[in-house]
Amino acid sequence: MPVATDYYALLGVSRDASPEEIKRAYRRLARELHPDVNPDPEHQEKFKAVTAAYEVLSDPEKRQMYDLGGDPFGGRGFTGGFDFGDIMDAFFGGRGQRRGPRSRVRRGQDALIRVQIDLATAVSGGASDITVDTAAPCANCTGTGLAPNSQASTCPMCKGEGEIQSVQRSFLGQVMTARPCPQCQGFGTTIPHPCPECSGDGRVRTRRTLTVKIPAGVDTGTRIQLQGEGETGPNGGPAGDLFVEIVVAPHPVFERHGDELHCVVTVPMALAAIGTSVDLETLDGTESITIPGGTQPGSVQTIRGKGASRLRGGGRGDLFVHVDVAVPRNLDGRQQKLLREFAGLTDDVATVGRQSEESGGFFGRLKDAFTSR
């Protein structure tokens, strides 16, 4: 950069401008001309020029030499020896702050455990004991990670700052960077004598038993959150949460669809024809089911309020009883004779044709009942 260049004109300040006025002018121009904002070559050249002007005018000795007509760079040209913090000021409104050492105390991780319950507990609610294996505070060091009668030491490498700074030169000048101290991993302190029980982590693996309250209406996949029952954090940090995922075991009689329960009652053909009653063991006790005479295969009876509980809506769904009619096999001679006599007293005959859409047949109606609800 020739000495004849008017640095004051480049920054747009007078020759008697104060250091603060020069700094404010440079900040304003740096925001406009920085390559990250205007990457074209023309603006890059202007940015280099105003940066060189600021380097000279912000340094009292170089400014005095420039005002006297001398070469403030001593023939070495522009090297960008100014503090890079000034550019940080221009773009971020102030010098970057040191992060300082990070704390060894951190929140623990959340944990997930699956528990299987029966259908009755899922419908009506209850409680279940679970065994969890998680990290708990070390009793020997009370979570500090320090051996008894010992204390942490200031890291000799970073002097307790938790980070190491280094200076590099670039076309913008000196760039200062910081990285976590490799000796203390950014904590600023070291543990010369770690606890022998937890090896300095402040926590140990522990198996414990918890009683989980199961709300009525849960289903497979429902998760129950237990705050503070997860993994304890390192060095006495707060514990995470424990999530209990519900798995409902299959029931030998009932099948669940949302808040509905379904079951199948098989009735002999003769009883379906003349009518009967069946005692059904529901999840709430014994229910007497009346099978009217002439009940057809696939008939459905509804028992209100005997289904599954609604987890968030309140109340309960219904129980649907599907009737299957069993046709007897391997009839003896007398039974066959009686059925033939019965057939002769009726007008029923075998017919051939398509199944009506309304009836759908027993298996069709049974399938629809389980899939459409």
pLDDT per residue, tens digit, the chain (373 aa), is 344 578 888 888 888 888 888 888 888 888 787 766 677 778 778 888 888 888 888 888 888 878 777 666 654 444 444 444 444 444 444 444 456 688 888 899 999 999 999 999 999 999 999 999 989 999 999 888 999 999 999 999 999 998 888 777 665 566 777 888 989 989 999 999 999 999 999 999 999 999 999 999 999 999 999 999 999 998 888 999 999 999 999 999 999 999 999 999 999 988 998 999 999 999 999 999 999 999 999 999 999 999 999 988 778 999 999 999 998 888 888 988 888 887 777 766 666 766 554 444 444 544 554 454 4
- At 286 the pLDDT is 93
What one-character DSSP code corresponds to residue 316? B
Task: List beta partners, residue 321.
Answer: 263, 301
198 class by beta-carbon count within 10 Å (0-12 exposed, 13-18 middle, 19+ buried)? buried
Which DSSP string corresponds to 72-87? TTTTS-----SBTHHH
Number of H helices, E strands in the chain: 9, 15
Cβ pair 203, 138 in contact under 8 A: yes
- At 335 the pLDDT is 82
- In single-letter form, the type of residue at position 201 comes to D
**pLDDT per residue as tens digits for the range 255-291:** 999 999 999 999 998 899 899 999 999 999 999 999 9
Q: CATH 2.60.260.20 occupies which residues in the chain?
A: 255-371
- Options 2.40.10.340, 1.10.287.110, 3.40.50.300, 1.20.1280.260; CATH for 7-92 is 1.10.287.110
- At 66 the pLDDT is 80
Q: Which residue in the block uniquely carries the two structure tokens 């006495």? A: 236
- At 212 the pLDDT is 94
- The alpha-helical segments, DSSP class H, found in the chain are 7-11, 19-33, 41-57, 60-67, 85-92, 119-124, 269-274, 333-344, 361-371
- At 340 the pLDDT is 83
Q: What angle do CA 292, 296, 302 make, to 5 degrees?
A: 60
| Parallel, antiparallel or unpaired: strands 126-137 and 173-180 | unpaired
Residue 313 CB partners (closer than 8 Å, separation 6+): 259
With b meaning 16 or more CB within 10 Å and e meaning fewer, what string describes 253-265?
Answer: ebebbebbbbbeb
Structure tokens at 194: 């770690």
| Parallel, antiparallel or unpaired: strands 319-326 and 260-268 | parallel
CA-to-CA distance for 166 and 180, rounded, in angstroms? Answer: 11
- At 105 the pLDDT is 87
- At 39 the pLDDT is 72
pTM for this one? 0.60
CA-to-CA distance for 13 and 269, rounded, in angstroms? Answer: 108
Q: CATH 1.10.287.110 occupies which residues in the chain?
A: 7-92
**H/E/C letters for each residue in 112-168?**
EEEEEECHHHHHHCEEEEEEEEEEEECCCCCCCCECCCCCCEECCCCCCCCEEEEEE
CA-to-CA distance for 135 and 243, rounded, in angstroms? Answer: 15
Cβ pair 29, 8 in contact under 8 A: no
Cβ pair 152, 191 in contact under 8 A: yes
- Options 2.40.37.10, 1.10.1040.10, 3.40.50.720, 2.60.260.20; CATH for 255-371 is 2.60.260.20
- At 4 the pLDDT is 53
